């Protein structure tokens, strides 16, 4: 299989279908724009499983995604997209860079969700960008940006409610979108939704269950990810 692209946490391969790709979830974890690196056995499998469950739920709720089918332990088949070079961050509770930028205390519940846009560019360190920057850099057309922001808020509503059922607070998360190939007319949710890209805190204790365990050396990463997966599976069954 021909490798199209290798990112920090995933590999993308061509398939025999021109408009489909195979996505492999790696065990690798990186933080601080690649400065901190490690590998965790079974992270790829857990993240693949969680991403599939969450994509399926979002599709059911009317959010178009790139997901097509589950294909083994660490791989899925997805629609081929042209990735929009914008990272959309949605926040419900203050943490991470929002605490640093605003001085608001970590854990402060936001009056309403905050949406931020970042330029997906490793060399620049993914800087925050405004709508005007996005227009100047031609990262997305205004109607595409509007669609992306609306979708992000809808995903937030769905996931916040769902994770609450699992006893987890959805603090914030990052989404990426892509233009469906070959026409590029339709924008769909792409990339992944996993504890690598979401902050999830235990509702009762406030314990951090997500990638912050690795970023801040808070304890066993896989223990947190497994706990999230178990709770998600239970919440889906109930
Ligand atoms: P912050 O801006 O506070 O660092 O991150 C906000 C949220 O977006 C967190 O849930 C974080 O995991 C996610 N996020 C932002 N940028 C990235 C990124 O480049 N990679 C990953 N995996 N997650 C990101």
pLDDT at 229: 98
User: What gap in Å lies between CA 190 and CA 178, rounded to an integer?
Assistant: 6
Above 90 in pLDDT, residue 184?
Answer: no
**Residue pair 81/178 in contact by the 8 Å Cβ criterion:** yes
Residue pLDDT, tens place only, 51-102 = 999 999 999 999 999 999 999 999 999 999 999 999 999 999 999 999 999 9
Work out which ligand 1 atom sits closest to the CA atom of 196: 22
pLDDT at 162: 98
Q: How many Å lie between the centroid of ligand 1 and the Cα of residue 54?
A: 18
Q: Which of 197, 199, 201, 208 to mutate to test the pocket of ligand 1 (most atoms within 8 A of CB)?
A: 197
- List ligand 1's pocket residues with C-beta within 6 A: 87, 89, 95-98, 126, 172-174, 196-199, 211
User: What gap in Å lies between CA 231 and CA 162, rounded to an integer?
Assistant: 11
Above 90 in pLDDT, residue 227?
Answer: yes
Confidence of residue 145 (pLDDT cuts 50, 70, 90): very high
Residue pLDDT, tens place only, 92-128 = 999 999 999 999 999 999 999 999 999 999 999 999 9
pLDDT at 1: 85
| List of E strands, the chain | 3-6, 10-14, 20-25, 28-31, 36-39, 67-70, 75-79, 81-83, 86-93, 109-119, 168-180, 187-190, 198-202
Residue pLDDT, tens place only, 155-183 = 999 999 999 999 999 999 999 999 999 88
Q: What is the mean pLDDT of the chain?
A: 97
Above 90 in pLDDT, residue 22?
Answer: yes
Above 90 in pLDDT, residue 194?
Answer: yes
pTM of the model: 0.96
Region 36-52 average pLDDT: 97
Q: How many Å lie between the centroid of ligand 1 and the Cα of residue 35?
A: 15
Q: How many Å lie between the centroid of ligand 1 and the Cα of residue 186?
A: 25
Confidence of residue 29 (pLDDT cuts 50, 70, 90): very high
């Amino acid at each position: 299989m021909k490798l199209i692209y290798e990112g920090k946490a995933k590999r993308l391969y061509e398939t025999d279908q021109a408009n489909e790709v195979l996505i492999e979830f790696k065990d690798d974890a990186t933080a601080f724009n690649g400065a901190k690196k490690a590998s965790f056995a079974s992270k790829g499998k857990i993240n693949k499983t969680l991403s599939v469950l969450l994509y399926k739920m979002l599709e059911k709720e009317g959010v178009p995604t790139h997901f097509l089918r589950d294909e083994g332990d660490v791989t899925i088949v997805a629609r081929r997209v042209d990735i929009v070079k914008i990272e959309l961050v949605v926040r419900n509770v203050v943490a991470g860079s929002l605490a640093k930028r605003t001085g608001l205390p970590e854990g402060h519940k936001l009056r309403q969700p905050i949406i931020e846009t970042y330029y997906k560019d490793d060399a620049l360190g993914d800087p925050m960008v405004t709508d005007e920057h996005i227009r100047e850099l031609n990262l997305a057309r205004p109607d595409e940006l509007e669609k992306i922001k609306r979708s992000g808020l809808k995903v937030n509503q769905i996931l916040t409610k769902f994770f609450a059922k699992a006893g987890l607070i959805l603090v914030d998360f990052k989404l990426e979108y892509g233009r469906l190939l070959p026409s590029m007319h339709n924008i769909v949710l792409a990339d992944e939704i996993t504890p690598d890209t979401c902050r999830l805190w235990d509702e009762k204790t406030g314990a951090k269950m997500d990638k912050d365990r690795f970023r801040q050396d808070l304890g066993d990463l896989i223990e947190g990810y497994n706990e999230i997966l178990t709770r998600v599976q239970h919440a889906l069954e109930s």
